[in-house]
Amino acid sequence: MEYQSIWVGLDYGEKIIGLAKSRSDICLVFPYKNIPTCSFLEFWKKYVQENNIIGLVVGLPLDLDGNEGKSVEKVKKFIVKLQTVSPFIDIFWEDERFSSSLSEKLLLEKNLCKNKREEYRKKKLHAISAYCILRQFLEKKFEFK
């Protein structure tokens, strides 16, 4: 099996974790999938074995004033668990304060009817937030837009 080198973005939620990915050879980011938080570590073990992950970009849910609140503590505790499964993957933090509102804006731009939008939101919102987090990080790191 040939491994592709990818960047992975992660949007942590107590119930759902959203993932996005970007191959290292192209400057495109894609929402990937939502995974229930309770089964994420099992998923991640397999995912790490099947992919050459350059780095994991994790959304840091800072308070509006830029300070770390209780949500940040939860994310950091989860990442400690994740590092026990994949200690060799570099972790990068990205401010995610506005990723949810940007995700909602992206959903509205799809011009879906209200029912379809709600259905899509349930299935993809965290993955779209992970997309926003990863894209923001890569834009800064590689200075592309």
Question: How deeply is 140 buried, as exposed, middle or buried, from its count of CB atoms within 10 A (0-12, 13-18, 19+)?
Answer: exposed
Indicate the pairing of strand 16-23 with strand 30-36.
antiparallel
Domains recognised in the chain with CATH numbers: 5-142 (3.30.420.140)
Predicted structure pTM score: 0.83
**Cβ proximity of 31 and 15 under 8 Å:** no
Q: What is the pLDDT of residues 16-42, one digit of tens each?
A: 999 999 987 667 888 899 999 999 999
Asked which of 42-46, 66-70, 80-84, 123-127 is least confident by mean pLDDT, the reply is 123-127
Label residue 132 by pLDDT band (50, 70, 90).
confident
Q: What is the pLDDT of residues 81-92, one digit of tens each?
A: 999 999 999 999
Residue 12 backbone phi and psi in degrees, to 5: -80, 135
What's the CA gap between 85 and 107, in Å, rounded? 33
